Amino acid sequence: MNELLRTNNQVLLSYVKALFGEAGIDHTILDTHMSIVEGSLGILPQRVLVSDEDFARAQRVLRDAGVDFGGANE
């Protein structure tokens, strides 16, 4: 699994989930429950991971949708 995106923007995370669901890209979002530890302030980012096989396609999906993901691991 490779980290593709790290953000605390819940709207962006929801959008990425929808994009990947539509494209059939399996993904994992880590640190979703860290807000409980931090007091629900939303300052700790969540990480979106995709498999090695889907990584390039996931990057294209985000790029085509205009999502700025920092081009991690390009």
Q: What is the pLDDT of residues 14-43, one digit of tens each?
A: 999 999 999 999 999 998 877 666 666 667
pLDDT of residue 39: 62
pLDDT of residue 73: 45
Instruction: Give the strand pairing for 2-7 and 46-50.
Output: antiparallel
Would you state the structure tokens that stand for residue 5, as one six-digit string? 């995106």
pLDDT of residue 34: 76
If you average pLDDT over every residue of the chain, what do you get? Answer: 87
The pTM for the full model equals 0.81
d(CA 12, CA 19): 10
Q: What is the Cα Rg of the chain in Å?
A: 12
Is residue 72 predicted with pLDDT exceeding 80?
Answer: no
**CATH numbers and ranges of domains, the chain:** 2-64 (3.30.70.790)
**Angle 62-67-68 from CA coordinates, rounded to 5°:** 115
